[in-house]
Amino acid sequence: MRSLSKSKLLAFRQCPKRLWLEVHRADLIEWSDQAQASFLVGHEVGEIARDLYDPKGKGVVFEPKVEGYDEVVSRTAALIDAQRPLFEAGFNAGGARAYVDVLLPVRRKGQKVWRMVEVKSSADVKDTHRDDVAIQAYVARASGLKLDSVALAHIESQWVYPGGGDYQGLLKEVDLTDEAFGREEEVKGWIASAQTIVRKRKEPEIGVGRHCSDPYPCGFLDYCQRNADQVEFPVTWLPGNKNNKLRNLIEVEGVSDLRQVPDELLNPKQLRVKTHTLGGSVYFNADGAAAELAQHKLPALFLDFETINFAVPIWKGTRPFQQIPFQFSLHRLSRTGKLTHREFVDLSGQDPSRRFAEALIAACGERGPIFVYSSFESNRIYELAKRFPKLARPLLAIDDRLVDLLPIASEHYYHPDQQGRWSIKNVLPTIAPDLRYDELDGVQDGGMAMMAFREALHPDTAGARKVEIEGQLLDYCRLDTEAMVRVWAYFSRRVDFPL
Ligand code: SF4
């Protein structure tokens, strides 16, 4: 019988076809940038955890990928009596293998026993983490390990980094001992079912759906989508919350095409999406959009931020996952239609927050509406005002001037090419097809901007590359505010402006 790793069992829990493909067609896997970024974050958090659980560095760190999986299992068995902290210790029993993030020797009633900690780079405990811990505990105990307790350590998102490399408090433990120990039979069932799937000659027939990104993005999505019968008008294009009857129709009855969804199950916005998507027609309440925008006179500003966030904060005074703005683009449209531009980006490697806030205050002046697209900028301004009380008044004055174009777009406009979405990247091609994100060099969306920022800050990044990244970031953010100007002009019927 093949021994399945914990990650294979978790793949099975997500989708049996994913497990089968991982075992038999691993060549088809294509990890998204987002998935690769999350692997890196997991690695970073793992390193911090080692320092926190073994501050004197007396433990043993195994490297299964480097040393070999079987070798680590053998070395773990040989070292178990030494009673030292173990990191990535390996166990193989009951048809499964597991490598434990943290294993700490403890004494309980005079006995030498072990405490297990599984470390996750998320802000809370998810169901998949509970499955993960149950598998770890089962395999370790089936190998004969005297396991006293099991905990999951996740990131405490409200913790504030005091600086100086002090990460005490970054991780918060949740005890899962009783739960994990009580799920042994369940885990045995998963292993048996997963073994059956792996032995099959053909891949299981499972269609793409919500499970492809929940709890993790699946690396076979491109493959499965290529092979799926393409639904012409997927129900996933329906925006917003779905009522119980609609959810039942989709999730239980398996309805996947908009044409099969009765109108009476849809709210007005969903019905609009269905009607105009199937009819191939544009919905545009031009008078309504123009009337809303007419309340905000020129000159006007158009503002967009780029931000970075770290699971493990690197700047004093910041929290895990805090969105820290490092760049803005600001277009100004005068009464006569003259367009000017200001921008800010900080790739110095220092916390950019204060310089960003000061530059923003200087650039925005004191009068005129400031158009944004979504509430993202408002939330960041509010956070900056809290962090820098001396700048709070001018920052909150900027916040008071913000006008969000997104609700205006979603209330008054829909083009079938938007496929049920209203992000600026979905709306822009239907209004101003000459402005194209896909023609930008290097950075074409917010995720790429974050990755570029991280690369620019990395000590190994050469000066010339940093300059190149800076240019790409500026071009990208500038296009975001140019896009907003064009959307504004279209909705306010000011297409006469020489933009
Ligand atoms: S893409 Fe979806 S259907 Fe395909 S293997 Fe992954 S989870 Fe399963």
Least confident of 139-143, 207-211, 321-325, 485-489: 207-211
Residue whose CA lies nearest to ligand 1 atom number 2: 212
The atom number, within ligand 1, closest to the CA of 211 reads 7
Ligand 1, atom 3: closest residue by C-alpha:
208
Closest CA to 5 of 94, 78, 119, 114: 94
Cα-to-centroid distance, 15 and ligand 1 (Å): 6
Structure confidence by residue, pLDDT tens digits, 8-27: 999 999 999 999 999 999 99
Peptide bond just before 262 cis, omega within 30 deg: no
CB within 6 Å of ligand 1 — which residues?
Answer: 14-15, 17-18, 21, 206, 208, 211-212, 218, 220-221, 224
Residue 319 has pLDDT above 70, yes or no: yes
Q: What is the pLDDT of residues 42-101, one digit of tens each?
A: 888 999 999 999 999 999 999 999 999 999 999 999 999 888 999 999 999 999 999 999
pLDDT of residue 178: 97
pLDDT of 339-388, one tens digit each? 999 999 999 999 999 999 999 999 999 999 999 999 999 999 999 999 99
Binned at pLDDT 50, 70 and 90, residue 228 comes out as: low
Which structural domains are found in the chain, ordered by start? 4-199 (3.90.320), 231-281 (no CATH), 287-491 (3.30.420)
Our mutation pick for probing the ligand 1 site, out of 25, 218, 229, counting the most ligand atoms within 8 A of Cβ, is: 218
206 pLDDT tier (thresholds 50, 70, 90): confident
| Band of pLDDT at residue 495, cut at 50, 70 and 90 | low
For residue 167, CA distances in Å to 46, 48, 313 come to 12, 7, 9
pLDDT band at 497 (very low <50, low <70, confident <90, very high): low
Placement of tokens 């004494």 in the chain: 107
What integer pLDDT is reported at residue 498 of this predicted model? 54
Mutate which of 7, 220, 226, 229 for ligand 1 pocket (most atoms within 8 A of beta carbon): 220
pLDDT value of position 216: 87
Q: Which atom of ligand 1 is nearest to the CA of 20?
A: 5
- Mean pLDDT within 285-302: 95
- Rounded to an integer, the average pLDDT of 314-343 is 95
Closest among 102, 76, 98, 77 to 87, alpha carbons compared: 102
Nearest CA to ligand 1 atom 4: 224
Q: In the numeric block, which tokens belong to residue 239?
A: 């925006």
Percent of the chain with pLDDT over 70: 98
Mean pLDDT (the chain, rounded): 93
**Whose Cα sits closest to atom 5 in ligand 1?**
18
**Top mutation candidate among 211, 213, 226 for ligand 1, by most atoms within 8 Å of CB:** 211
The pLDDT tens digits for 417-433 are 999 999 999 999 999 99
